[in-house]
Amino acid sequence: MEAKAQLTLTLKDEPLSGIIHSSTAADVWDKLNHRYEGKGQNTVAYLIKEIFHATLSDKMPMEPQLNDMRHKAYILKTLGEPISDSVVAHAMLLSLPDSYLTLRTILNSSPATIAGSFLSTDTVITQVLTEEKNAKLGNSQVAFIAHGKGKGKLSHKPNSDGDKKKGLKCNYCKKKGHIKPEC
């Protein structure tokens, strides 16, 4: 009776109406399990749809969104419908927002992936979280790649002030390009 009381006292009105006529705690538990556990094909189909039609948002932190996808794959496994870790990893990559397009391309075309090694959810999550942190700091991989292509050399666009200063020589340090007050 005490267990039944604990179960019924913790329920909201909707689930409570489904078990109100139960006489034992075991009966309450069985009815709740049957109603909410979701072992049927509808649940399996829903979880598969959620994994493969997910669209992640960069307006929210990425970690809980990615963990939610991994958790849905785990639930499918416990329901007897496992999806390989590599397939879930690719679903994660496909669900990333456009701001992660470069990372998606890099992970899909990495030598290990091309050579037949499987991409893992752990790898995807680690790389996405690193990219998210770097993007917040202004050091995203896109910036590193763009900088790397120039091999560290910045293109110089001459401007009129710079051109005028080329002919100047500092009276203090004797170097060209500036004058003593700017030294």
Q: Return the amino acid letter for 18.
A: G
pLDDT lower than 70: segments of the chain: 38-39, 111-117, 139-166
CB within 8 Å of 118: residues ≥ 6 apart: 84, 85, 86, 89
- For the chain, what's the residue count? 183
Tokens of 86: 């590599």
The rounded distance, in Å, linking the Cα atoms of 180 and 31 is 87
pTM for the whole thing?
Answer: 0.57
Phi first, then psi: what are they for 91, rounded to 5°? Answer: -65, -40
In this prediction, residue 165 carries a pLDDT of: 58
CB within 8 Å of 47: residues ≥ 6 apart: 72, 73, 75, 76, 79
In this prediction, residue 158 carries a pLDDT of: 45
Specify whether the CB–CB gap between 178 and 170 falls below 8 A: yes
3-state secondary structure of 176: strand
CB within 8 Å of 27: residues ≥ 6 apart: 19
The rounded distance, in Å, linking the Cα atoms of 177 and 99 is 41
Tokens 């309450």, located at residue: 28
Q: From start to end of 91-157, where are the E strands?
A: none
In this prediction, residue 157 carries a pLDDT of: 45
Q: Give the DSSP letter of residue 68.
A: H
Least Cα distance to 62 among 127, 140, 141 occurs for: 127
